[in-house]
Structure formats: C-alpha cells, structure tokens
Chains A and B, each alone.
Chain A
Amino acid sequence: MKALLAIAGKVQKGGKHVTAKDVERARGQGATDKEIHDTVLIAAAFCMFNRYVDGLDTWQPRDPEIYREIGQQTARLGYVGRDYHKPLQAIASKQNKSKS
C-alpha cells in the first residue's frame, strides 16, 4: 500500500512524475500490473472528481456526521445505488432542531 500510495501521489502531481523506480518499488512489494494500473487510474479519476467539485465551488458540509452517514450508505449500496436524499434529510432535520 505504501508503494501504491507513493505512485498515486506522483500521479496527482502529474502523470510524468511516476518513475520506473516507483513502479519497481511496488512490484518489489508484490503489486501486480492490475494493482498498479488501478492505482494510477483511481488517482487520475480523483484528480477529475476533485476538480469537478471545487471547480464549481460546490457546497461542502463541515459536519463529520454527514460524512459518516454518506460513507456508510456508499459502502452498503455502492456509488450508483446510494441515495443522496437520506443524508440531506438528516442535515435538514439537524438544522431544524438547532433552530428550535
């Protein structure tokens, strides 16, 4: 994982930052081609998702409870199957409570 995270960190800076040495280190720790491929693509994909979220200046709640709720739901239902309404309702009811 350390070797794969090192590769992901290089990808975040830019694809050309990944060196043969980084890849050798991962292989030395037993990483397969598929694991290296997926690590590079996950890192690259999050360079997209992050820019999409911040580039549009989206609203990002600060309450850790919201992220716990979304995290549990995503783990249970997956990214396609999850339902955003539930955590949003949880935020709304919390905000109503704090108002009253």
Chain B
Amino acid sequence: MAHISLPEGIPGILGPMAFSPETAKPLNALAEVLLRGPNTLAPAEREMIATFVSSENDCYFCQHAHGAVAAYRLGGNEKLVNDVKLNFESAAVSEKMKALLAIAGKVQKGGKQVTPADINRAREQGATDKEIHDSVLIAAAFCMYNRYVDGLATWAPTDPAMYRENGKRLAEKGYVEATDDLLAGADR
C-alpha cells in the first residue's frame, strides 16, 4: 500500500502525479525535454540511460516503464535493454554509449563519483559537452523520479504486457500528452 492516499489502480509515478498535478507538470516537461527533445543522442539511447539508472536504483516501475520505451524504439529488442542493465560494458551498444552509461552510473552513486577520467573516456569516443551534460542530468533526474516512486511506496504492476503497451504509448505520444490523457481518463 502506498504511504499516502493515491487514486486506485494508477501505476507508479502516475499515482502521485494524479495526486499532485501542479508538480506533475514540470516533472513531465523535464522528462519530455530530456528524453524526447532534439538531441544528437537518439531517444532510445537516452531511454537506456534512464532505464540503467532506474535499475541501479532498484526502482521496478521506472526501469520497466523506460525499458519498454527503449525496447519499442529498438524494434522490440528487450534483450539489448536487459543486457545494458546487467552489464552495459559487454552489451551491443556503441563505445560512446558505454562511456556515457559509465558516467550515468557514477552520477547514480553521487555527483562527486564522476572523475575527469570518466569524462575523458566519453570525449575520446566522440561525446560532446551537450551529450555529457544531458547524460548527467538524465541520470540525476532519474535519481529523483525513482525516489519519488519508491519513497511513496507506489503500486508497480508486474505484467510485462502493461509495460509494453505503456512503452508504445509513451514513445508515440510523449510524456506530457500521454500523462495528460491518462490522468484525464482518456485511456481508461
């Protein structure tokens, strides 16, 4: 049971977002810019960073929700998403992505864990300042979202089909529209 009275049957972060629409708005706007805004990193790559950090934070809802968006954008490649979570260094992602995931993993542990060597590795693989910035901020933001979701003990469904369906909707509609629809009951 959640720590506070949240609307019944609304999973994960959507419960507290329905409870507190005024804070849901900037939270979704941030996710939209970070994960779907114009960027040299593909949306699937940014979703993988979000999924990896959520997995490191052991947030069931977030890692499955964003893992599903990443997999949908990768043509249903759930194996790759799992590989990244288990050990990104041996996963079939670019060397630049591995370097950015390494930075994200350090950010998850704490900002000060990121070393000049981590940054140099990313730069040597062609990462730009903006890509490094965005990786740090995505990782930091998921340290927020994950704590919001678990700190209130929200309900996380375990049915993979729900996450696949939700992943498709988030990939197609985006965080602002999909959430607005859901909270307005349009999809229910």
Contact = CB atoms under 8 A, between A and B. Distances in A.
Contacts of B111: 50-56
Interface string B130-154: 0011001101110111111111110
A93 to B, nearest CB: 29
Given A14-B58, A48-B140, A54 B110 contact: yes
Interface string A48-86: 111111111100000000000000000000000000000
Interface of B: 3-5, 16, 19-20, 23, 57-59, 103, 106-108, 110-112, 114, 132-133, 136-137, 139-141, 143-153
Given A48-B141, A49-B140, A55 B107 contact: yes
B140 A51 contact: yes
Q: Main SS of chain B's interface residues? A: helix
5 contacts: A18-B3, A20-B153, A38-B20, A43-B147, A51-B140
Contacts of B57: 14-15
Contact of B140 (A16, A33, A37, A52): A52
Interface residues of A, number: 31
A52 B58 CA distance: 20
